[in-house]
Amino acid sequence: MTMADIKYIGVDDLDIDIFEGQYPVKDGMSYNSYVILDEKIAVLDTVDGSFIDEWMDKLKAVLDTRKPNYLIVQHMEPDHSAGIARFMDEYPEAVIVSSMMAFNIMKGYFNTDYADRRIISKEGDTLSLGRHTLSFIAAPMVHWPEVMLTYDTTDKILFSADAFGQFGALSRTGLNIDEARRYYIGIVGKFGLQVEALLKKAAGIEIKAVYPLHGPIITDELPLLLDHYKLWAGYESECDDCIIAYTSVYGHTAQIVRMLASEIESRGRRALAYDLARTDHSIVLAEAFRAGTLILASTTYNTGVFPAMRSFIDTLVEHGYKNRTVGIIENGSWAPTAAKVMKAKFENSQGIRFLENSITLKGGISSENIEALKAMADEICS
Ligand SMILES: Cc1cc2nc3c(=O)[nH]c(=O)nc-3n(C[C@H](O)[C@H](O)[C@H](O)COP(=O)(O)O)c2cc1C
Ligand SMILES: [Fe+2]
Ligand SMILES: [Fe+2]
């Protein structure tokens, strides 16, 4: 799976339930780490704290009797950096190669920034290993400030840190665009500008393969993944599907959502409805970014909006959701307020176009509601 002198020493985490404290990963997660065996030996990143022994065993097996010269730390998030102290204890001759910002963060985790055993590198600096020459590329906020990618100028491999990663253990999944999207939108989505800056740098170099810190190595599928990254980083939709995110207590809002979905489908467009109380929000979030139109349907709740909808819209806005069409459906038996509250949440979002047609249910579904529903479907599909 890797070039002959580049070895994979990462691990699969099949016990993990949620990644980064919030993303369910039913197929587990991989923490990738690589060794470049050259005249000098470089190890790229470590793994999560639960797997340091396994990682160290793999490293030793690959090294045989040799000793590593460099530990390149591309990203200080603990799922990759937890093994730093163990590595440095095990190999007292080795030095860390990383950005200054990473060394600052390192001090916070390990009470040392290895001041006498380090090489501080910045964008454009190179490190020769013999056959391989590595060059470093700053990628601030993809998705922490200290991130530095490594480009192997010899074999044209981009070691991409958390960029181009995905959920899922390597033993369970290959490239899966849905999981790459859910990973990107959830973890990196807020930083589209910074990802665009990185894509620009990547466009200027020849890349034969991408070796990320999560998920599979990307070779033949790189153009496909890059095309998606361009859309995601630019906050552009991938299609004109209509996503309907809803909450319902007694089922009336759910019922009008089903009716709207079938009206939209009968007009030749795809409509997918998600119950926000029963679907993980990272899935709905990624769907909202994938599609051009989003309908939000919520019950009024204590003069506000239902909790699952409230937190979903907060998540959308926090991830920089923009440049989309949004439609609103509310339900309230005595004083419906959900529509107003939902709309107000997008106050500071850019490029949100609200549908002219909205729908207010006062409990059940009235004949006016049916008319409004058809008008809304017409407007969505026009
Ligand atoms: C806990 C709770 C709080 C509610 N608060 C309000 C409210 O502040 N204003 C209002 O008009 N309706 C309120 N309602 C009524 C619901 O909006 C109403 O029952 C609606 O029809 C529910 O739609 P559903 O059938 O899709 O669940 C509340 C309902 C519940 C269960
Ligand atoms: Fe990260
Ligand atoms: Fe990561």
Burial class of 201 by CB neighbour count within 10 A (0 to 12, 13 to 18, 19+)? middle
Residue 137 one-letter amino acid? I
pLDDT above 60 (res 22)? yes
Atom nearest to 247 CA in ligand 1 = 26
pLDDT of residue 2: 47
pLDDT of residue 1: 40
Distance, in Å, from the CA atom of 97 to the CA atom of 240, rounded to the nearest integer, reads 45
Mean residue pLDDT of the chain comes to: 97
| Ligand in nearest proximity to the CA of 142 | 2
333 CA distance to ligand 1 centroid (A)? Answer: 6
Burial class of 92 by CB neighbour count within 10 A (0 to 12, 13 to 18, 19+)? exposed
Atom nearest to 300 CA in ligand 1 = 17
| Ligand in nearest proximity to the CA of 105 | 2
Atom nearest to 255 CA in ligand 1 = 26
Residue 80 one-letter amino acid? H
Q: What is the pLDDT confidence band of residue 3, given thresholds at 50, 70 and 90?
A: low
Cβ atoms of 286 and 180 within 8 Å: the answer is no
What percent of the chain clears pLDDT 70, i.e. is strictly above it? 99
Mean pLDDT of 281-298: 98
Contact partners, residue 26, CB within 8 Å, separation at least 6: none
Alpha-carbon dihedral of residues 370, 294, 332, 310, nearest 10 degrees? 170
User: pLDDT digit string (tens) for 36-62?
Assistant: 999 999 999 999 999 999 999 999 999
Which residues have any ligand 1 atom within 6 Å of their CB? 248-253, 299-303, 331-336, 363
| Ligand in nearest proximity to the CA of 298 | 1
- pTM of the full predicted structure? 0.95
307 CA distance to ligand 2 centroid (A)? Answer: 29
pLDDT of residue 143: 87
31 CA distance to ligand 3 centroid (A)? Answer: 7
Per the structure block, which two tokens stand in for 309?
């909808």
Query: Which DSSP string do the residues of 10-53 spell out, in sequence order?
Result: -EEE-S-SEETTTEE-TT-EEE--EEEESSSEEEE----GGGHH
Atom nearest to 363 CA in ligand 1 = 21
Candidate CATH numbers 3.60.15.10, 2.40.240.10, 3.20.20.20, 3.30.70.20; the one for domain 6-233: 3.60.15.10
165 CA distance to ligand 3 centroid (A)? Answer: 8
Measured by CA distance, the residue closest to atom 4 of ligand 1 is 301
Q: What is the pLDDT confidence band of residue 312, given thresholds at 50, 70 and 90?
A: very high
User: pLDDT digit string (tens) for 164-183?
Assistant: 999 999 999 999 999 999 99
Distance, in Å, from the CA atom of 298 to the CA atom of 342, rounded to the nearest integer, reads 9
CA of residue 25 relative to chain centroid, distance: 12
143 CA distance to ligand 2 centroid (A)? Answer: 6
Top mutation candidate among 244, 252, 310, 331 for ligand 1, by most atoms within 8 Å of CB: 331
Distance, in Å, from the CA atom of 326 to the CA atom of 342, rounded to the nearest integer, reads 10
pLDDT above 90 (res 73)? yes
pLDDT above 90 (res 4)? no
Going by C-alpha positions, the residue among 130, 20, 21 that lies closest to residue 75 is 20
Residue ranges per structural domain of the chain:
6-233, 239-381
Measured by CA distance, the residue closest to atom 12 of ligand 1 is 332
Contact partners, residue 321, CB within 8 Å, separation at least 6: 235, 288, 289, 349, 352
pLDDT above 50 (res 193)? yes
Instruction: Answer positive or negative: Cα dihedral of 381, 264, 317, 23.
Output: negative
pLDDT of residue 160: 98
195 CA distance to ligand 1 centroid (A)? Answer: 42
Atom nearest to 364 CA in ligand 1 = 21
Atom nearest to 304 CA in ligand 1 = 8
Question: At the topology level of CATH, where does 239-381 sit?
Answer: Rossmann fold (3.40.50)
Top mutation candidate among 249, 303, 334, 369 for ligand 1, by most atoms within 8 Å of CB: 249
Mean pLDDT of 156-168: 98
